[in-house]
Amino acid sequence: MAKSESNTMWGGRFASGQDTLMESLNASIGFDQRLSIQDIRGSISHASMLRETGIISKSDADIIIAGLKKIQLEIESGDFKFSVKLEDIHMNIEARLKELIGEAAGRLHTARSRNDQVTTDTKLWVREQIDELMKTIRLLQQQLIISAESKADWVMPGFTHLQTAQPVTWGHHMMAYVEMFERDYLRFYDARIRLNESPLGAAALAGTSFPIDRQHTSDSLGFDRPTANSLDSVSDRDFALEFLSVASICAMHLSRFCEEIIIWSSAQFGFVSLSDEFSTGSSIMPQKKNPDSAELIRAKVGRIFGSNVALMMVMKGLPLAFNKDMQEDKEQVFDASDNLSISLNVMVKIIQTMQVNREALEEAASSGFSTATDLADWLVRELNLPFRKAHHITGEIVKICELKGCSLSSLTLEDMQNIEPRITKSVFNVLSVQNSVSSRSSLGGTAPEQVIKQVLRWKKILNEEII
């Protein structure tokens, strides 16, 4: 079998190199090179701490830090050459550092291991992604608020079981998603708090005998504190699992919204029309304008869910502390983050550019006897009937409408009085969809005045964050 040369970074224990198949299985540089900037940042922090504690000389530390900064420039310019033979991002950078500065490079790894190093790198990367995703969620909420405010009194059907239930307003529907994505925002915020402990200095699993200053590296890397247990520090992937879990819930919310947009944009509904920029055509049917942007976002949730489940399966049987299985975390986290990021950003543009058909919304809002609950409520208020009795009477009136092929508002008073003689003509005041939505003025209701109150509340929240 073909064999490679022994890895000079750890090969002293080995008489020969790995089989090339093992080399391919073991190497992670194909994907963990995405951690290069975080790895250099962590290494600079570690070298600075080693200098401040006197573990290595000032001159060696200064040379190391200068070399690391040069490597960062090489990576950013695309001039850095990554090698599969050096396995991972850590060894690739250390090998290049040795080429640049000589034997002093070997002092950088004093009092640390790749175990605490990779956990630190990955935490830094995930933290950055959380910050960006939270910003994009805010952009999405802002677009939803703009749409809600401009169409606060546009009536549309509200559905349960995808059947017409009661009239609502477009503004109310958009604000529902503002609340939904706020929970995602807060889950990311909460996950970031738990993530923000520095594992650097835990070394392989037991800590180190060198007099390191973990608070120094923690502070310089923007963590709240160092982790408290070295075994847990290097074996913890909860932060990645929590990131994937929150990403999955957020993706699910996007998928639900996309499902509605896809339905609304169909010819049978005609509620909305996506812009050309976020639609595609058909290779055979020239009339088609497909909402593929929404369909693709809807599909992304499968990949993100899959990443979440995959890492759960990787971690479920691992004893303490570090195991190479954990190398499988990064591709799952990278893929989920990439897909959630593009999905959120596209959704911002979809809402920003989507055209809404007010006439189609209003026509659909009055279909399916959507004001039947308003009739039942009127019977309770005006005739002092128990709600269950009012519910039954309303059901009988709806049945007459179905037989006559008319709406509740066009049924004659006489027909209604045949079911309940005490009904008066004032009942027609509650049977229009406009009156229906206006009457739903309880806190959190669909009435335009409530929508505007919620819009103003949210504008205040977002403005205070900016300030």
**Could you write out the DSSP letters of every residue in 278-302?**
G-B--SS-TT--B-HHHHHHHHHHH
- Residues that are catalytic: 161, 282
Contacts of 401 (CB under 8 A, 6+ apart): 369, 407, 408, 411
* Cβ pair 236, 119 in contact under 8 A: yes
Residue 14 DSSP symbol = -
- Strand pairing of 197-198 and 225-226? parallel
Q: SS3 breakdown of the chain: % helix, strand, coil, rounded to 5? A: 70, 5, 25
Interatomic CA distance for residues 436 and 216, integer angstroms: 62
SS3 call for 156:
strand
**With the C-alpha atoms ordered 162, 167, 173, 175, is the resulting torsion angle positive or negative?**
negative
* Cβ pair 130, 194 in contact under 8 A: no
Region for 207 from its dihedrals, namely left if φ exceeds 0, alpha if ψ lies in -120 to 50, beta otherwise: left
* Cβ pair 157, 168 in contact under 8 A: yes
| Whole-Å CA distances, 158 to 361, 377, 452, 454 | 10, 18, 19, 19
Interatomic CA distance for residues 34 and 335, integer angstroms: 12
**Could you write out the DSSP letters of every residue in 239-281?**
HHHHHHHHHHHHHHHHHHHHHHHHHHTSTTT--EE--GGG-B-
Interatomic CA distance for residues 416 and 409, integer angstroms: 11
**With the C-alpha atoms ordered 336, 246, 202, 58, is the resulting torsion angle positive or negative?**
positive
Where do the DSSP E strands lie in 60-211?
Answer: 155-160, 163-169, 197-198
Interatomic CA distance for residues 148 and 403, integer angstroms: 37
Interatomic CA distance for residues 112 and 141, integer angstroms: 43
Interatomic CA distance for residues 317 and 109, integer angstroms: 30
Contacts of 250 (CB under 8 A, 6+ apart): 133, 137, 181, 184, 187, 188, 340, 344
